[in-house]
Structure formats: C-alpha cells, structure tokens
Amino acid sequence: MSFPAFLRRAARFWGDSIAVRCGNRTLSYRALDERSTRLANALCGLGLVKGDRVAIQARNCAELVEIECALYKAGLVKAAMNARFTAAEVSDLVQSAMPRVLIAGPGFTHYHARTPGFSSIESFIAIGASTDGYADYEALLASSSTMTLDVRMRADDLAVLHFSSGSTGKVKAAMQSYGNRMAAFRKVLLADGDVRHGDRIALLGPVTHASGMLVQPNLFRGAELVLFERFDPAEFLDAVGRHGITHAMMVPAMINMLLAEPGLDSANLSSLRALSYGAAPMAPARIREAWERIGPILAQGYGASESTSGVARLSIADHAHAIANRPERLASCGRPFAESEVRVVDEAGNDVSGDAIGEIIIRGEDVFHGYWGEPALTAEAIVDGWLRTGDLARVDEQGYLYLVDRKKDMIISGGFNVYPTEVEAALYRHPGIFEACVIGVPDATWGESVKAVVALKPGASTEPDELIAHCRSLIADYKAPRSVDFVTELPKNPNGKLARKLVREPYWKGVDRRVN
C-alpha cells in the first residue's frame, strides 16, 4: 500500500465527506483524489519525472494538501518553503534544490526566471489570481487527465526536502525518504489512536512545517483537516465551537496566546478531545494552567526534522499522572514510543542515568537520509547509524526524558528553529556593528525570544528598532532579534573566540531549565 492507494480508498469510503477545510472553502475526499490526480498528470505533462523536485511557497490553503497528494502520485519530491522565508533565502534554497517547477500562492508570485538562483525552474504555476509568466493552477487542473498514474515508490526514494535553518548560518534541507514518511505515518496512527472518520483536526501551524506530518495519517482515517492561514486565538476558539474541532496541534507559544485570550473561559470547547504541543518545551506552570482552563487533554511530542516525526511522547495519561503524583514530570518531553530507538549517552557513548546529562541519539526507520548537498554535515549528524540530535537531556528511572540544554546554540522561538550565526551574519551587514552575539532568552509567550547583544564601532550610533528592522530586511521575521542590548565589549575565551555561554548566562539566572 502507498499514500496514493490510501487516498483512493478513502475517496471510495467517504467520497462526499469533507477532507479539507480552509476558511470558507471545503474539499471532499472524492474531489481531493480527483484534483490531486489531475495535478499529478499535469506535472508529468510538463516533462517532470520521478525524483524531480517541485518548489512550493504558500500560506496554508487547501491546495497545499492536494499538491502533497499529487507529488506522491507522480513520485516527485516536495520542496516546500516556509511562507516567512525572505526572497534571499528562497533564492538560496532554489539554487540548492534545483527544482524544475515552482508553485506559488498569493503574495509569492514575484519570482521569475531571472530571479537569482532560479535558472533550474522551467515552469511557474500560480494558485489564485492569474499572474504574468505563471500558468493558472485551476486551468492546469481542468485541462489534465484523471487517469490513475502507476508510479511505484521504494522506501529509499526521496520524498521531501524539509528546509530548516542551519547551524552554519545557511538554510539546510533534510532529505526525508518515502520510507521515512511511512514510518512517521505509522507513528501518528499509534500515538493518536482515537482519531476516526468524522473527527476534525485543526492544523494551526504551516503545513510546510511540522503540521504537515498529520496530513496523510488523518486522510487515511477519514478525518477532516481544518487548516488555518494564521493563528488567532479568538478565531481558533470560535472555530472549535462552530466546526466541532476534536484535535489540535500547537506550539507552546500558541497555547500561551490562548491562555491570554479573554474569551477562553467562556468558549465552547466541549468537542475538543486532545491538544498536542511540541516543537519547543513548555513551562510546567503553563502546562498546569492549560490543563485547568482548556481541559485535561494535553499531550506533548518531541522530535526533529531529522527524525521525520516525534520520537518521544508525554501522553494525556502521563500528564494526568504527573499532575496528581509526579509534578516534576511535567518538565519531561515523555518516553520513546513506537519504532524509534532513543538513547541518552555521554561523550564516550555510554548510556547515562540519574542526574547525569547526555546527548539524545536516535535510530530507526524514520531517521532521515542526510542533508541535501552537505555530506560533511550528514556525517556529523549520523554516526554509526545513530542520529545525534545535539539535545542534552537526562533520563529518569522509568525512561522519561528531560531536556536541559542544547549542545549547539540553536534557539527555538515559537516552535521555529533560529541559529545565532545566521542572525549575526545579518547584524554584521549593518555598518555600525563591531561585534554581535545572538542568544535565546526566556520568554513567557514564545518560550525563547531572540536577543542580540552588540558592541558598536567607535563613533557609531544606532537604536534597537533600527537594528531589528535591518535584520528583518535580510532574514525571516521570526529569526530577527526581538530585543537588543548594547555593551562596550563582548567576552572572549582564552583563544579569543566569543564566549556565547558567558553572554547568555545572566539572562538565565534563576531558571531551572536552560530551554524554556
């Protein structure tokens, strides 16, 4: 069986049921199957063959679901870019991935064949209003065949290039194979075993990101995917009441905003059976508040782009037990589940226990195949078959994992990965900057927020707002600093290297965990 076969079967079982809802638009299972087949044939008609990459940039919309289904049917590789990536970042990604087609949503049709890095793209397709130089998405589907394609996918075939910011300061692409995605699919079915036909799953984050991992498993089960173009807590609460949403996935920053929403306590949340959170740790105090005010329905997942899916889970039952009997366990990200092998090891590769801290390493069918075009980074990430996550943790006597810090300097803000070197590179393009150090600091809403600590050149003058705006012109807004502190000099280690840990330490005094 395969994802296309699963969708054909779902269309036969639940043809008239809603498969996808986004705003006022709905798409039935029968329509999703037919339209994705038409798109798959259209892409093949453009000359694409199995393994070719298709770049996508759009905000959440129903078309993103049918595009993913079409790519599986045609054996093409999804290279979906975050809607918040800047034009410069998109150019770098396209130049690296070498896609032959770009499908762009409203607001992203300003690229063309002469855009730097776009020389590989032969066809431009626009979702929504027609645009000069772009084929119309709907017209393309209308003129294409509904004939079933016979493209067989092997476990090792590349399925997705998953883009995330790299520790080198460049965006990198994790290569997720068809086998990786199938392993992730099985895990979602195991983790959320109560989902059934007729349930409604709220996808609040971009489906180009972690939310996208829930698409195929829930289509398989006949659920309705409810996509949100952006997260607005009042709109979400209204949608739960109007549509009877049963399951939702959020990053902790969304839960923080939900708890601050005045209408929360009067909202009708009776249909909501599960609220999963992940992509960043959540403060135990906020977990307790959410448990009391939203309901006893919280579950947490821990994973990474490189593991394709979640590898550890703190279930609803785990939360209930922790609140009643083991309050310290609310700081845990759960226990390994399903097929993943997860260890916490010291520098010598020995398993740690008790209060000892080690690095989380992972082995399993969902561990990615490496970074696209980056063999050295791949060799650094996968050692002897084990994915080295760079996350430092301890493990208790019952196997619960507790994240305590990150081996690398990555910041997680609102569920998005931000690497300091990338932000620093943008800061250094300002003429007044002498030295810059970017760190994550505790933030009640975002978990961590990005702070720049900078020293200016003699005689130079600038303001925090100017530096923030400067960064936002060069990198995605979620990567830009939210605050700036000025110092006369940044600390160095004996070798003269900037001592990031010394810069970071004062902002984390009194905080138990060095992730927030």
Give me the CATH number covering residue 422. Answer: 3.30.300.30
Amino acid identity at 121:
I
Q: What does pTM read for this prediction?
A: 0.86
Residues with Cβ within 8 Å of 247's Cβ and at least 6 positions away in sequence, in order, are: 192, 195, 199, 200, 201, 202, 223, 272, 273, 274, 275, 276
Distance CA 362, CA 191 (A): 18
Q: Which of residues 99, 133, 153 is at a domain's end?
A: 153
Domain end, chosen from 99, 122, 153, is at 153
3-class SS of residue 88 = helix
Per-residue pLDDT averaged across 221-226, rounded?
Answer: 98
The pLDDT of residue 515 is 67
pLDDT in tens, 299-336: 999 998 899 989 999 999 999 999 999 999 999 999 99
Instruction: State residue 168's pLDDT score.
Output: 47
Q: What is the mean pLDDT of the chain?
A: 93
Residue 396 CB: number of other CB atoms within 10 A? 16
The domain that contains 94 carries what CATH number?
3.40.50.980
63 in any annotated domain: yes
Rounded Cα distance, 390 and 315, in Å = 24
Q: How far is CA 186 from the centre of its chain?
A: 19
- CA angle 382–86–254, rounded 5-degree value: 75
pLDDT score of 237 more than 90 = yes
CB-CB contact of 283 with 313 (8 Å): no
Name the phi and psi angles at 128, rounded to 5: 95, -140
The answer as to whether 286 is a domain residue is: no
Examine the fold and report which residue of 153, 171, 199 is the final residue of a domain before the chain moves on.
153
What are the DSSP E strand ranges found in 305-348?
A: 310-314, 335-336, 341-345
pLDDT at 4 over 60: yes
* DSSP bridge partners of 124: 102
Residue 66: inside a domain, yes or no?
A: yes
**Rounded CA gap, 18 and 306, in Å?**
32
> What is the domain range of residue 61?
27-153
pLDDT digits (tens, 9 = 90+) for 31-63: 999 999 999 999 999 999 999 999 999 999 999
Look at the chain and report how many structural domains it folds into. Answer: 2
Euclidean distance between CA atoms 205 and 435, whole angstroms: 35
pLDDT for the residue numbered 167: 45
pLDDT at residue 165 above 70? no
* 251 pLDDT higher than 90: no
Looking at the DSSP assignment, which residues form a beta bridge with residue 231? none
- In single-letter form, the type of residue at position 317 comes to A
- Looking at residue 516, its pLDDT comes to 58
Taking CB atoms within 8 Å and a gap of at least 24, the contacts of 29-33 are: 29/219, 29/222, 32/7, 32/65, 32/66, 32/69, 32/219, 33/7, 33/8, 33/69
How do beta strands 101-104 and 53-57 pair? parallel
Average pLDDT over residues 97-108: 97
Give the mean model confidence (pLDDT) for residues 91-109: 95
Average pLDDT over residues 9-28: 97
> Which residue type occupies 257?
M
Evaluate if residue 360 carries a pLDDT over 90: yes
Residues 222-238, mean pLDDT to the nearest whole number: 96
- Whether residue 73 is predicted with pLDDT greater than 60 in this model: the reply is yes
